[in-house]
Amino acid sequence: MQLGQKLLVKPSKLARKLKLEDWNTEYNAYKKKENVERKLDRLSRQMSELQYKLFASKNQSLLIILQGVDASGKDGTIRHVMEALNPQNCYVKSFKVPTQEEMAHDYLWRIHMAIPQKGQIAIFNRSHYEDIIEVCVHNSVPKNEILRRYTQINDFERYLSENHVAILKFFLHISKDEQKKRLQERIEDPTKHWKISESDLQNRKYWDKYMKAYSELFRRCSTSWAPWYVIPANLKWIRNWAVAEIIVNRLDKMKLKFPEPEIDLSRLTIK
């Protein structure tokens, strides 16, 4: 079985419960870091080649969504996994607190504005799922509104998929102890002070609520057209390998091909 299949949240009936705490945060199929890093090097080369075909064909696009609690490694994943990608047709979009203009529209408006055009890869650092997770944790909207958003997001992602936008959704899963360790490093390391905020420490108090909210989210919003993957992220090299392998496999399944020339090359002569 491929790694991606082991980490996939398989679409299931609503009656079936999913508990995030049952998922491993330290996948240890490869115990030696150097073995994993060699695999990542190979995957990086494949990713670069497939991206080139995607850019050339310009008939499909790829949307990669990264979610996770504070200090789960979203920035690190972008830096280490996506470095193989050519920025000419790849970009990162971070979704923070909505601006005044964004608040004046529906909550999916700013998301749709950032969807990659054909031939491009977009990486979302957080996403429209913040509009479910945060309101669930802090009980800021009625439950019937949250249920409506599950349906709206599934329909939105199905629409994108039917219009040739492939979607991969990654939850970077770390343990509570690992988060404590990483937050402490941010406090002690002057080069990481800029990463720490009071909200990180406040949100940690709601750990159990976040785990419950994400568990429900995966159960309702992992679909065949936009699947969720729970990535073991305590070990950064395991995290990078898992994300890279799933991306490469998805690009490969897109059956990317270089387009045929628009002119008859046999009639061309270079003088």
Q: What is the pLDDT of residues 39-58, one digit of tens each?
A: 999 999 999 999 999 999 99
Percentage of residues of the chain with pLDDT beyond 90: 77
Which range is least confidently modeled, 18-27, 36-45, 104-113, 255-264? 18-27
Domain presence at residue 232: yes
CA angle, residues 156, 212, 6, in degrees to nearest 5: 70
Asked, for residue 265, whether it belongs to a domain, the answer is no
Structural domain including 46 reads: 3-257
User: For residue range 57-99, what is the model confidence (pLDDT) as tens digits?
Assistant: 999 999 999 999 999 999 999 999 989 999 999 999 999 889 9
156 pLDDT more than 50: yes
Give the rounded distance of the alpha carbon of 46 from its chain centre.
19
- Total domains in the fold of the chain: 1
CA distance linking residue 220 with residue 206, whole number of Å: 21
Q: Single out the residue of 225, 230, 256 nearest to residue 243, CA to CA.
A: 230
| 3-state secondary structure string across 241-270 | HHHHHHHHHHHHHCCCCCCCCCCCHHHCCC
Kindly list the distances between the CA atom of residue 258 and the CA atoms of 52, 57, 101, in Å, as whole numbers in the listed order. 9, 6, 40
Q: What is the mean pLDDT of residues 119-144?
A: 95
Q: Tell me, yes or no, whether 264 lies in a domain.
A: no
pLDDT greater at residue 79 or residue 270: 79
**Does residue 149 sit within a domain?**
yes
**DSSP secondary structure of 71-104:** TSSHHHHHHHHGGGS-GGGEEEEE--SPPHHHHT
Give domain status of residue 33, yes or no. yes
Query: Higher confidence at residue 26 or residue 187?
Result: 187
User: Can you give the pLDDT at residue 243?
Assistant: 97
Which of 83-92, 157-166, 195-204 bottoms out in mean pLDDT, i.e. has the lowest?
195-204
pLDDT in tens, 3-33: 888 999 988 654 367 788 888 898 775 568 8
Say if CB 211 and CB 17 are below 8 A apart.
no
Residue 269 lies in a domain: no
Q: Does 153 reside within a domain?
A: yes
Contact yes or no for 229/171 (Cβ under 8 A): yes
**268 within some domain:** no
pLDDT of residue 171: 98
Give the mean model confidence (pLDDT) for residues 113-128: 97
Q: What is the CATH number of the domain that holds 193?
A: 3.40.50.300
pLDDT over threshold 60, residue 244: yes
CA distance 174 to 195: 17
- Of 242, 124, 225, give the one whose Cα is nearest residue 173: 242
Q: What is the mean pLDDT of residues 121-137?
A: 96
Q: Is 122 helix (H, G, I), strand (E, B) or coil?
A: strand
pLDDT confidence of residue 30: 57
User: How far is it, in rounded angstroms, from Cα 63 to Cα 117?
Assistant: 10
